[in-house]
């Protein structure tokens, strides 16, 4: 079961245990929400090449998740996202392993002609 309903209610009630979201975080979230997968991946790759630990884990997870949702049939992207998750585990190891399995399943599918 997801904790999203509880997290959403806490957000609405202002009960977040973290410091209030800043302008930079708000701008990042608003911008990435409507960005395409190429734009997201370009930005992530640029930032990570400058400082691999510079991008907060929550921002990396969000970026890769949004890119994967926009490219559900891209096994290379799923592998990259899974490898990134494994870098910050073990909390997300199960999700990363599922993404690796999904990538394998995508590659095992016969190509769609059309």
How confident is the model over 51-68, as pLDDT tens digits? 988 899 999 999 999 999
pLDDT band at 26 (very low <50, low <70, confident <90, very high): confident
Give the DSSP letter string of 76-114. HHHHHHHHHHHTT-STTHHHHHHHHHHHHHHHHSPPPP-
Q: What is the pLDDT of residue 114?
A: 56
- Please give the model's pTM, rounded to 2 decimal places: 0.81
Query: pLDDT tens digit string along 1-14?
Result: 467 687 777 777 76
pLDDT band at 19 (very low <50, low <70, confident <90, very high): low
Q: What is the pLDDT of residue 32?
A: 95
Residue 97 Cα distances to 19, 58, 68, 100, angstroms: 32, 19, 15, 5
């Amino acid at each position: 079961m997801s904790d999203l309903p509880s997290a959403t209610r806490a957000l609405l009630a202002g009960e977040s245990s973290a410091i209030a979201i800043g302008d930079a975080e708000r701008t990042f979230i608003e911008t990435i929400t409507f960005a395409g997968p190429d734009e997201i991946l370009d930005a992530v790759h640029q930032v990570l090449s400058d400082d691999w630990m510079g991008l907060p884990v929550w921002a990396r997870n969000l970026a890769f998740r949004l890119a994967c949702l926009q490219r559900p049939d891209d096994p290379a992207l799923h592998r990259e996202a899974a490898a990134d998750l494994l870098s910050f585990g073990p909390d997300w190891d199960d999700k990363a392993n599922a993404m690796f399995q999904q990538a394998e399943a995508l590659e095992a599918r016969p190509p769609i002609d059309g």
